[in-house]
Amino acid sequence: MAQSTIHLKKVFADAFRQLDRRAVPPIEVKFYPYVGLHHTIRIRSGRVYVRLSDLFHAAPPEVMRALAFILVSRLIAKKPAVAHERVYRSYALSPQVLRASEIARRQRGRKVLTSASGKVYDLEKMFGRLNRRYFSEQLEKPTLTWSVRRARSILGHHDAVHNTITISKTLDSANVPEWFVEYILFHEMLHIVHPACLINGRRYYHTPAFRADEHRFRRYEDAQEWLDRVVRKRQELRARAA
């Protein structure tokens, strides 16, 4: 049965009382049609604003209580209790909620695409070569695109909901070896072969089978060394900005 926002305010107030000894602040709780399964909690001018995914509108009371304690814990920089995280994950990763989240992402989400053809590298041609070499041309080609921005934190991403593979525009450069771009694309292609799976209530994307297949890449060791270099450079840039 769906819970009223008045009741949820009481649940969040209770979480504040148990986790924080200061006076309970004014709390506003609303359900919001996020693209996926997402919740936020912020404090502004002494007032707490909570936005919960509308996919949780019918969540059981014990799940909403667990979520309240998790969000408040994060707001006051405390680690959420394992028991609360377990209750939340059990519901959030249930088949019906995952399915509802997938449908919401398809209906509400808008995938920003550019082109598979970059200034230096063509993802379509690269996909074809990798598909022949490692997958016996058995992989159905998803939509391939370079990212809109020069993302450095995420070099590649496979979106199963929208059936797309996005590669960071940062790699579309003559300064980046073609085999390294191939490795990043190959890694994302493996996510098609090895979808995420649930193990003990947790979602795993890089299973032992995934890692074993990843080692098949012809220049795997070189790619790992280059990846380490990219990560170090990223850390150096962050340090300069700090």
Q: Locate the domains of the chain by residue range.
A: 5-108, 123-241
User: Is pLDDT at 218 greater than 80 in this prediction?
Assistant: yes
User: Is pLDDT at 228 greater than 80 in this prediction?
Assistant: yes
Orientation angle between helical segments 178-193 and 220-241, nearest 10 degrees: 100
What pLDDT sits at residue 148? 86
**Closest C-alpha among 168, 42, 75, 160 to residue 109:** 160
What pLDDT sits at residue 33? 87
pLDDT band at 109 (very low <50, low <70, confident <90, very high): low
User: Is pLDDT at 3 greater than 70 in this prediction?
Assistant: no
Q: How far apart are the first and last CA of the chain?
A: 47
What pLDDT sits at residue 37? 87
C-alpha to C-alpha distance for 50 and 9, rounded to whole angstroms = 9
Q: List, for residues 110-156, the tens digit of each pLDDT value.
A: 666 789 999 999 999 999 999 999 999 999 999 999 998 876 678 99
User: Is pLDDT at 192 greater than 90 in this prediction?
Assistant: yes
What pLDDT sits at residue 77? 93
What CATH code is assigned to 123-241? 3.30.2010.10
What pLDDT sits at residue 12? 96
For domain 5-108, the CATH class is alpha beta
Average confidence (pLDDT) over 55-80: 94
Domains 5-108 and 123-241 share a fold: yes
C-alpha to C-alpha distance for 195 and 207, rounded to whole angstroms = 9
Contact 213, 190 (CB under 8 A): yes
- Number of Cβ atoms within 10 Å of the Cβ of 193: 13
C-alpha to C-alpha distance for 180 and 196, rounded to whole angstroms = 24
User: Is pLDDT at 73 greater than 90 in this prediction?
Assistant: yes
Sign of CA dihedral 207, 211, 216, 220: positive
User: Is pLDDT at 31 greater than 60 in this prediction?
Assistant: yes
Residue 107, beta-bridge partner list: none
What pLDDT sits at residue 242? 47
Residue 31: both structure tokens together: 């359900």
